Structures are given as C-alpha cells and as structure tokens.
C-alpha cells in the first residue's frame, strides 16, 4: 500500500519518492486507489497556506498565491491537458485532425483562452470570502476522483500511456474512490455533496463530448477532467442560496 501511494504521489505531484524500480504507467493504474489520498494531501497543503497567509495579505493576493502553489505542486500536469483539449475539441476539424492537435505541444488560441478562463475562475473563487475553507480541501480530492471516473471503461486506441492506464484500472477501485469521495464531501454538508455531484456530472459530460469528437479518451482528456472538476467544486462552494 505504501508503494502504491508513492507511485500515485510521484505521478500526480512534483514530489519524488525515488522509487526503485521506476513505476510504469500500468503501475500507476493499479495504484489509482491512492489518487484521492494524494488529492487530500494537496488540499491539506493549500488549506494550511491559506490559513497562514490570510491574516497578512488581501483575499485576492492569497488566491493568486494558492493558484500558483496549486500549479507548482502538480507540475502543471493537468493544465497541459486542459489547454490541449481546448485547442483540439473546439476546432471544426475531423477527429483525426483533432488527435494531431492534441499531440502538438504548441499552445493555440483556444488553448490560451481556456487557460486564462480556468485560472481566472479559480482565482476569483478562492478570493471569495464566502468560500468555505473545507471546499479548498475537497476540490483536489474530487478532481483526482473524476480522473478515474473519466478513465473507467473509456474508449482508447489500444496504444499509448492512457490506454495502459485505462486497462490497468480496476472497476472496484473506481467504486471505492467514489464512495470515499462522497464520504469526504458529506463533511461539508449539502454544499459538499452538491459540489461533488456537479463536478462528477461535469466530468462525465466532458468525457462524452471528448468521445464524440475524438472517438477516444486519452491522457489529455483525463487530465483536463481534473481541472474542470476542481473548478466546479470551487464555484459551487461560492454559491449562496
């Protein structure tokens, strides 16, 4: 179990446990149960930084620092998938051309727009003083849970890292992660449950759109679903009714 956690930690964050032998992407798939645990670690770090900085800086500056730290902790891994998906899915081209765009490392107009909107929404939500601090903890957990939800039984081409990850993913693990995430969301009351539900619903809709436009789900789509889910959790957390 410890190695599984270390494999997930090394894959999802910039932390390096110096694993020997080096894990394969199939090992990552088999370690997927630890994804929300890594998310909880990220959330805990963000909560501690927010708590420490809040008395000394304005809410906007604290929000910018949190977003910056969020990106640093994950190495920008999922943001890359988010921008690639915007470039590919928004283009009015055939599916094969969209796959070529996904593999292109250059940032296009749609990708740049998507990046600006994502960072702006996260920053605005984190700067909202009505946002419960528990939501900051919950967002990374739900985000990493949504990655498994999107990858579960997803269509792929039978080759590449995403295909090996999807094939190694156990259905029982996906169910366990879903139950665990819902249990954590319950701590946040109806706000937490609603946020998790909307985030997972948004991730499934995003998966459906990706499969309809690409005919497959690849690593970029899985990573983008994490960013989408995290943002939805933050937005619902700011909602007042």
Residue 170 confidence class, pLDDT cut points 50, 70, 90: confident
pLDDT band at 158 (very low <50, low <70, confident <90, very high): low
Most confident of 93-102, 137-146, 157-166, 188-197: 137-146
How do residues 217-241 score in pLDDT, each as one tens digit?
A: 888 899 999 999 999 999 999 987 5
d(CA 24, CA 97): 29
**What whole-number distance in Å separates Cα of residue 219 and Cα of residue 118?**
19
Predicted confidence at residue 103, as pLDDT, reads 79
Q: What is the mean pLDDT of residues 111-121?
A: 94
Q: How far apart are the first and last CA of the chain?
A: 42
Indicate the pTM of the whole model: 0.92
Give the contacts of 208 (CB within 8 A, at least 6 positions apart): none
Query: Side-chain half-sphere of 116: how many Cα atoms within 13 Å?
Result: 7
Q: What are phi and psi of 79, to 5 degrees?
A: -65, -35
Q: Of the candidates 170, 175, 149, 157, which has an alpha carbon nearest to the alpha carbon of residue 217?
A: 157
Q: Quick check: 46 pLDDT over 70?
A: yes
Runs of H (alpha helix) within 75-160: 77-89, 95-103, 109-127, 133-151
Mean pLDDT of all residues belonging to the chain = 90
**In 3D, which of 149, 128, 136, 125 has the Cα closest to residue 202?**
149
Q: What is the mean pLDDT of residues 135-156?
A: 92
DSSP per residue, 191-241:
HHHHHHHHHHHHHHHHHHHHHHHHSS--HHHHHHHHHHHHHHHHHHHH---
pLDDT of residue 142: 96
Cis amide linkage into residue 117, ω under 30° from 0: no
Cα–Cα distance for residue pair 214/164, rounded to 1 Å: 18
- For residue 155, what are the domain limits? 2-238
Q: How many CA atoms lie within 13 A of 175 on its CB side?
A: 3
Is residue 159 pLDDT above 80, yes or no? no
What is the tally of structural domains in the chain? 1
pLDDT score of 2 more than 90? no
**pLDDT tens readout for residues 134-143:** 999 999 999 9
Length, in residues, of the chain: 241
pLDDT in tens, 66-80: 999 999 999 988 898
Question: Taking phi first (over 0 means left), then psi (-120 to 50 degrees means alpha), and beta for anything else, what does residue 93 get?
Answer: beta
């Amino acid at each position: 179990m410890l190695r599984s956690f270390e494999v997930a930690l090394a894959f999802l964050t910039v932390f390096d446990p110096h694993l020997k032998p080096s894990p394969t992407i199939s090992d990552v798939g088999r370690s997927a149960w630890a994804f929300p645990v890594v998310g909880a670690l990220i959330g805990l770090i963000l909560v501690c930084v927010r708590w420490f900085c809040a008395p000394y800086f304005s809410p906007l500056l604290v929000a910018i620092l949190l977003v910056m730290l969020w990106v640093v902790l994950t190495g920008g891994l999922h943001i890359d998938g988010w921008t690639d998906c915007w470039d590919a899915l928004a283009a009015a081209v055939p599916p094969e051309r969209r796959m070529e765009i996904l593999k292109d490392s250059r940032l296009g107009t749609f990708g740049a727009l998507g990046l600006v909107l994502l960072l702006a929404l996260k920053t605005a939500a984190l700067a909202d003083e009505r946002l419960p601090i528990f939501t900051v903890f919950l967002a990374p957990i739900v985000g990493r849970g949504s990655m498994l939800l999107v990858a579960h039984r997803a269509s792929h081409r039978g080759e590449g890292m995403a295909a090996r990850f999807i094939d190694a993913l156990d259905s029982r693990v996906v169910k366990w992660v879903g139950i665990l995430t819902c249990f954590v969301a319950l701590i946040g009351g109806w706000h937490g449950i609603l946020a998790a539900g909307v985030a997972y619903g948004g991730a499934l809709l995003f998966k459906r759109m990706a499969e309809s436009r690409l005919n497959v789900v690849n690593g970029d789509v899985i990573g983008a679903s994490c960013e989408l889910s995290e943002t939805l959790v933050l937005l619902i957390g700011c909602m007042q009714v």
